[in-house]
Amino acid sequence: MFVIWVTGLTLLVLISHGIEASNHRQRSLESNPDEQPYRTGYHFQPSKNWMNDPNGPMYHNGVYHLFYQHNPYGPLWGNIAWGHSISPNLIDWIHLDLALTPTDPNSDINGCWSGSTTVLPGNKPAILYTGIDSQNRQVQNLATPKNLSDPFLREWTKSPLNPLMTPINGLNPDRFRDPSTAWRGPDNMWRVVVGAGIDGHALAVMYKSSDFVNWTRSVAPLHSSQKTAMWECPDFFPVGINGSDGDNSYLNGDQYEKKHALKVSFDSRDYYVLGQYSPETEEFKVETDFMDEGSDLRLDYGKFYASKSFYDSEKKRRVVWGWVNESESDADATKKGWSGLQSIPRSVVLSKSGSQLVEWPVEEIEKLRGYKVSLQNIELQGDLVIEISGITASQADVEVSFEVTELEEAESMNSSRVDPQMLCGETNANVRGKVGAFGLKVLASDDLTEQTSIFFRIFKTNNSEEKKKYVVLMCSDQSRSSLRDGLDKTTYGTFLDLDPLQEKITLRTLIDHSIVESFGGEGRSCITARVYPVLAINEGAHLYAFNNGTTSVKISNLNAWSMKNARIVSM
């Protein structure tokens, strides 16, 4: 039985055992963990086939919507359409029919690629998306709901005027895609940026419109770069230290004091810059630019790409998703029958220092927490591993804080000349140092022949141009994650903006069979990994805390929860 009440802005969805039984075939991949050990329990993914970029997430009339790039016919990229799912809480999802499919030779016959949603005056959502026309040009199109009285917005109508923006005046027709969410300035004109590449350098091309149909390209882009060749999936939004700062309305005048973030995707990574934006002059003054020496601001330092954010007007917060692709081969995807999943949605705010973004899993994920185990004030002597037992280690949420007092023993380094990812690879979890490695071993076999290690090391710097300070390195080591060959087992790493003299080192890790999302320093650095263990699956997975350094480390507090499955069904 499937019952829905819609009253004003409130949606209540009750899914009884009946609908779960009626959807057994659609959910067969999720419900057979022995045959599909890498299916996730609480991360969003379709029941089968290919998925990549999140598209047009929004909150509308009490319902969360997530659109996404989807191949409805197979587990590899191709035949790209817009999948569509809805949720009352960002965790439980109902799959609907496709929202957009390739139909029009003039605008999208060869694919409906990425884009965004914007809620227009009168509470009317609109989709701007990239279509691939019959000439294989990338063009920008508009779609609107067929029936605004439908609470789920299941059907969308394409504008007869499509395409609205075409690659002319020097724009490369192969590098002109992914329109952002639009914003309206104090002149009531709409603005939108599109990722582009011209003559070997990247741009966020700006367009303006008074009616959301007729768009004119601005003379200057919002931002550009001579160091990168193409930007995909641009995202532009205001951000402050409170969630309510993420609203991109410019009509009330309070946006001028906020910083803005421009996120772009290139080289399989999601980078961002911070700066000040003036809607009157269209000028965006960045603090540090993409690829500048010493600048490496990313939403995630692991496997996370093509992210898309939206402002959640219900909870007064900005929320971002990212596509997490596979680390297996196409042959593996074909055998499984699916490929790709979405990260847990994350809230985004500005750090108190104002120097970076901070991300944290949305609070709704905590409703899936089940049985809990806790540890306090545990001294981890050097070369010590302790098991955290009593929870489902293959599907868990773990929060831990470490305290290190003997920092004088830390090894020296010159942080300005070190690549943190390379350093993590060279000094992996099994290399013994002075202060570290210490952290968690997740999705580990009982004998530790398989393990994914999320860990920290602390170094001290004695650069001539600065006084001595301590540097925290955060790593996610997949080198021993699986006995299988032919997998991407990259070790990821970043420096964590945290002073261990002033605060404890915290780590939160979400474990879900084949995905490990880690948040260091209360979300100041995030690293996502995909792993495919052979032994450490289902009941064979274990969770450990460890210290492989010569200096003692204390676990001040550790809480770990078994995680229940989210309800992800088809209507």
Nearest-angstrom CA–CA distance, 448 and 2: 45
Strand partners, 64: 59, 87
Those residues with Cβ within 8 angstroms of residue 38's Cβ, 6 or more apart along the chain or in another chain:
336, 513, 514, 532
CB 108 within 8 A of CB 114: no
Q: Are strands 93-95 and 568-570 parallel, antiparallel or unpaired?
A: parallel
Active site residue 488: no
Cis peptide before 541 (omega within 30 of 0): no
| Options 53, 133, 245, 512, the catalytic residue | 53
Nearest-angstrom CA–CA distance, 327 and 49: 16
**Exposure string over 388-406, b if 16+ CB within 10 A, otherwise e:** beebbbbbbbbbbbbbbee
CB 289 within 8 A of CB 226: no
Tokens of 236: 């532009």
Nearest-angstrom CA–CA distance, 403 and 376: 11
CB 367 within 8 A of CB 44: no
Nearest-angstrom CA–CA distance, 427 and 540: 27
Nearest-angstrom CA–CA distance, 319 and 56: 12
Nearest-angstrom CA–CA distance, 184 and 471: 42
- Residue 127, SS3 per DSSP: strand
Query: Catalytic site residues?
Result: 53
